[in-house]
Structure 1
Amino acid sequence: MRGNGVRVLVVGAGIAGLAAARTLRTWGAEVEIVERSAAARVEGAGIYLPGNAVRALGDLGLGAQAAARAVRIERQRVGDHRGRPLMDLAVSDLWHGVGPCLAMHRADLHEVLLAGAKEVPIRWGVTIESVVDTGEDVRVTFADGTSQGYDLVLGADGVHSTVRRLIFGAAASARQVGQYAWRFLARWPDSGPVWSVMVGRGGAFLTIPIGDGLVYVYCDGPLDGPRVEPRELLAGFAEPAATVLAAARDGLQGGPVEEVSLPRWSRGLTLLIGDAAHATSPNMAEGAAMAVEDALVLADCLAAAGTITGALRAFEERRRPRTEWVRAQTHRRDRSRSLPTPLRNLVLGRLGEKLFHSSYAPLRKRP
């Protein structure tokens, strides 16, 4: 099917929405984006892109632009909360033949994607009130009372998707997975090109360099009980935990970790993509990869199918096994938190590298 004359509305100007806008415009569709934020504002601090995410950005035609703003990560290291090493993995071995691993400021990645979709009009500060499939098109009513018909509507509006609520109801809300996470940037010029995590009893402390002497910091702990601030959560952790916390810049962003799991992603001519469809815990760092892969596969399915509804069915059939694999691996990693500390450390020390390779193995193949 050719995209000429196909009218597409993308709801959300995040990673999934901008990537989809770029691929569908290349397919030939008339694409527009609406975004509830009033301007190009990015929530979040840093982002880690495993090899398959960097490959997907390359397939999107934006790999070089992203790499120019990123730090190339060479190793992944895991230690216990006292700093004793448990695993040291060369990421080039893990992702050989797929792509490098990069880390960057999330706003820089957003700017790369915005530039990649610069020919697609974006209406900022716009929210939607209803999505009605007429059988011939999708009628979208906006908050200002105006409405417009589209041949395809993409809900790319994140974990708390308005499109998902409008087409599937409140029962399709995101659910908490049991951790409360903090994210922030800190100045730590001595950090090398290493993804490094220390794991304690119920908590974790991750640092990833993103350039200019900054590290992206992620730490989390159990969600049950009163919320614990990072300094309390990481009490007893070895250096550099205290030093990095003391060097935190701006505000700390905190919130419960959530996931989205749905029996279907589409209804009629409306489709959910990215976190709106299949958000997971960030412990696999696959959110951006799954979002960009969604965009690439959707364009491929639309080009190959005879109808839009046929393309949406093909998209779900092709994407669901891969996103479900990622979710299953995040659950496996979360369960490992409940292991007794000596057993967890023994498993990571003896089998950590093997487990990392096996958890990412299916993702080495193209989607």
Structure 2
Amino acid sequence: MEVLYLEHLEIKGFRNYRQGSVSLGPGVSIIVGRNGAGKTSLLEAAQYSICGKSFRTSRDAEMVREGSGFLRVSAAIETGGVKRSRLVSLQPGQPATVDQGGGPRWEQAGSVLCFSPDDLQLVKGAPAERRRFVDEAVSRRRPAYQKLAGDYQKVLSQRNRFLQRARAGIVRLADISPWDRQLMSLAFQIHDEREEYCRTLSPAFAEAYDRISGGSGSAEAVYRSQLQAHAGEEDREAAAVRELEQQWGGDLERGATSIGTHRDDIEFRVGGKNMRVFGSQGEQRSTVLALLLAEAVTESPGGERPLLLLDDVLSELDPDRRGRLLGALGNGFRSQVIITAADYNLIPVGGCEAAVVLEIGQDGLIRAAEAGDV
């Protein structure tokens, strides 16, 4: 199985870093530093070097250090036994450039999975957050899915515009049928992909949650879709189109489409409880972490194991869960993991036996932690 390993990272002009570098081990690395020291920026630079994107912003210019005028991120990577180098350079107002030392272009958006405190919205937030999580996961396994999802959004937007024009009396509502058929055809393809992914994810999610929580919570990812009502019908698309026709009046009034996979949701349940509604803060955080670990071990067609970046993951977990999380990550997990922490006290006694602990000092330099610190 192919494992992504980030061996070395050098950054210049990135966020609060004038310059910095770090060498990492293939297992778990814990980076300790005070708030504002640049721990999150280091994880962001790692993701940017590999994927060309940031988990913090969609505006690349925000990553350029104030007064610097440029940023450079250089990474030494090993994947599938092949050593690679990537130098990503950016100047505000210009597209990023990538130099891979003359080797074939390599960029894997799905090779890095990130957790940040904001990711609790995956459980606590709107259904769109959970749909996005599933869609990104499916796209990593089936790149063609991204086009399918884009085609669906295009037809959905066209249908909604048609409804708005019909409400204004510009077109006849009865002429909306072609959009209904296109929408339901695409919707069922998306439905099937999402349903299959949730079915595949659930066993790994349950195992990961149990390892973090120390219990047997029977965790599962339950896919909820309006289209499931037609799953057993001989011509499910035609049945869904008929249901959509029955909603023409309401759709016309709202100027929006009421049936389709854009209304889907995914329930993350533990012991039968919907974590969005009934989960405590600790349970919700454990749920997000378990989902991330499950996604990392759920094998993609190419068998790739991604790099995991876990930002400030220990601060909101009780000591027992911290220990179990580090135990799960260090016990044959296989993926490389980089964790940030604001304090050595957050690292449980014995929890770092399989981990390399690094510290960001007052001078911004990253060095191995002293033996007495941990």
Report TM bin, short chain. Answer: under 0.3
> Higher helix fraction: Structure 1 or Structure 2?
2
Identify the structure with bigger relative contact order (alpha carbons < 8 Å, sequence gap 6+). 2
Calculate the TM-score normalised by the size of structure 2.
0.22
> Higher strand fraction: Structure 1 or Structure 2?
1
